Amino acid sequence: MFTIGILASGKGTNLQAIIDYIKEENLPIRVGVVISDNEDAFALERARKEGIKAICIPCEKYKTILGKEVEKKYVSILKENKVDLVCLAGFMRVLKTTFIKSFPNRIINIHPSLLPAFPGLEAWKQALEYGVKFTGCTVHFVNEGIDAGPIILQAVVPVLPDDTPETLHKRIQEKEHIIYPLAIKLISEGRVSIVGRKVYIK
């Protein structure tokens, strides 16, 4: 069984989409553990409802980067749970090199824009303000940069003339819920390889 660990700070709609897809497709994948930095994250509640181990490891307030000790805890819980792949799903902290090196090419993230456009926070707002006609979402491997690792899958979403940040984000999320579970499935099947910056899917 391929085991994933999910890190989430917020509402957890991607976490839910992953859980639902695994069930619907009857995939040999299990969510071994869900960890959050935020004890009020609805993602934790969703996990518990599904009978999945859900843990809060609080981080220093107002710091985007995980502190050394906190980072150790995250890594050791993921290792204890024999996680094959770490999936960031709305996790609002930046992972440092030591964390990334503990899971080489085994950490992925979903970002709400067509990277490399609009990395960072509220990417849908950035896209709207910039005036692009198309945006979307990206599943990528995590490296030391911010939203900068090799790209696995992307989906395009048109920006409509009367879009608000909310309507655009909602349509982007609908696509996230399709490509994120799919990327996890492809990786679990050993069909994804990285050569330099390029990701090949068999």
**131/159 Cα distance (integer angstroms):** 8
Catalytic machinery residues: 111
Q: Please, how many CA atoms are within 13 Å of residue 134, restricted to the half-sphere of its CB?
A: 6
d(CA 153, CA 108): 11
Please report the sign of the dihedral spanned by the C-alpha atoms of residue 199, residue 95, residue 73, residue 61. Answer: negative
- Of 119, 132, 79, 70, nearest to 102 (Cα)? 79
Interface with ligand GRF (CB under 6 A), residue from 32, 112, 149, 181: 112
Q: Is 136 in the site for ligand GRF (CB under 6 A)?
A: no
Q: Which residue from 90, 136, 149, 181 is in contact with ligand GRF, where contact means CB under 6 A?
A: 90
- Compute CA 174 distance to the chain's CA centroid, rounded to the nearest angstrom: 14
CA gyration radius, the chain: 16
- Specify the residue, 56 or 72, whose C-beta has the smaller distance to ligand GRF: 56
Q: Which range touches ligand GRF (CB under 6 A), out of 21-29, 51-59, 69-77, 110-118?
A: 110-118
Q: Is 44 in the site for ligand GRF (CB under 6 A)?
A: no
Q: Which of 111, 140, 171, 175 lies at the binding interface for ligand GRF (CB under 6 A)?
A: 111
In the structure encoding, which two tokens stand for residue 83, read together? Answer: 């996680």
**Member of 102, 126, 135, 173 binding ligand GRF (CB under 6 A):** 173
13 binds ligand GRF (CB under 6 A): yes
Cα–Cα separations (whole angstroms), residue 95 to 31, 146, 169, 198: 20, 9, 24, 22
5, 12, 32, 149: which one binds ligand GRF (CB under 6 A): 12
Nearer to ligand GRF, 72 or 148 (CB): 148
Q: 3-state DSSP call for residue 150?
A: coil
- Token pair in block for residue 69: 């000790």
Contact segment (CB under 6 A) with ligand GRF among 8-16, 31-39, 50-58, 187-195 equals 8-16
What is the identity of the amino acid at 54? A
State the number of binding residues for ligand GRF (CB under 6 A): 14
Per CB under 6 A, 149 contacts ligand GRF:
no
Asked if the peptide bond before residue 116 counts as cis, ω within 30 degrees of 0, the response is yes
Nearer to ligand GRF, 49 or 79 (CB): 49
- Chain residues binding ligand GRF by CB under 6 A are 8, 10-14, 89-90, 110-112, 137, 173, 176
